[in-house]
Amino acid sequence: MERPTTDKNSIKLFKPLIFSLITLMVTSCYYDSEDYLYPEIPGGQCDTTGVTYSGFIAPLLASNCNSCHSESSPSGNVVTSTYDGLKNVVNSGAFRKAINHENGASPMPQGGNKLPACELLKIDAWLNQGAPQN
């Protein structure tokens, strides 16, 4: 009975390929940070009462969003510098998804971390009120 022979060159090529695939699989694993996914609210408190468009939402958007989403340069055709522009994206549901980094929307601010948890809770409170222009 003859024993099958193996080509030593094939084995030499096969080993680095397997090593590369294993290395790729191990290094491509992604772990979310629990602190990023479930940020703690400083002091454990966040006052979401009395959140208004003019008092909180508009200034927050001015400092975090309007540089890319103004009327003069509406990135992604999204305008956050005016109430009417913001209301359009709020009504579509994309605003809440984007600021919470949820699937189905580009995470905003783009290339940055999520807004602090308390700010997100205040935005949610305003959205739950119907996003009034107050």
Q: Using one digit for the tens of pLDDT, what is the confidence trace for 6-15?
A: 566 666 767 7
Q: Is 90 exceeded by the pLDDT of residue 55?
A: yes
pLDDT for the residue 25: 63
Residue 69, phi then psi, degrees to nearest 5: -120, 45
Q: Within 10 A of 74 (CB to CB), how many other CB atoms are there? A: 14
**Six-digit token string for 92:** 């579509």
For residue 108, being part of any structural domain is answered with: yes
pLDDT for the residue 132: 97
Residues 6+ apart with CB under 8 A from 81: 61, 62, 65, 66, 69, 70, 71
**Residue linked to tokens 């510098």:** 81
Q: Tell me the pLDDT band of 120, cut-offs 50, 70 and 90.
A: very high
For residue 134, being part of any structural domain is answered with: no
Query: Which amino acid is residue 79, in one-letter code?
Result: V
Domain count, the chain: 1
For residue 12, being part of any structural domain is answered with: no
For residue 38, being part of any structural domain is answered with: no
Q: Domain containing 89: what range?
A: 49-128
**Six-digit token string for 77:** 């055709």
For residue 63, being part of any structural domain is answered with: yes
For residue 18, being part of any structural domain is answered with: no
Q: Is 60 exceeded by the pLDDT of residue 104?
A: yes
In the predicted model, what is the mean pLDDT of the chain? 84
For residue 110, being part of any structural domain is answered with: yes
Interval 26-39: pLDDT, tens: 565 555 554 555 55
Of the two residues 26 and 69, the one the predictor is more confident about is: 69
Query: Which amino acid is residue 37, in one-letter code?
Result: L
DSSP 8-state secondary structure symbol assigned to residue 57: I
For residue 116, being part of any structural domain is answered with: yes
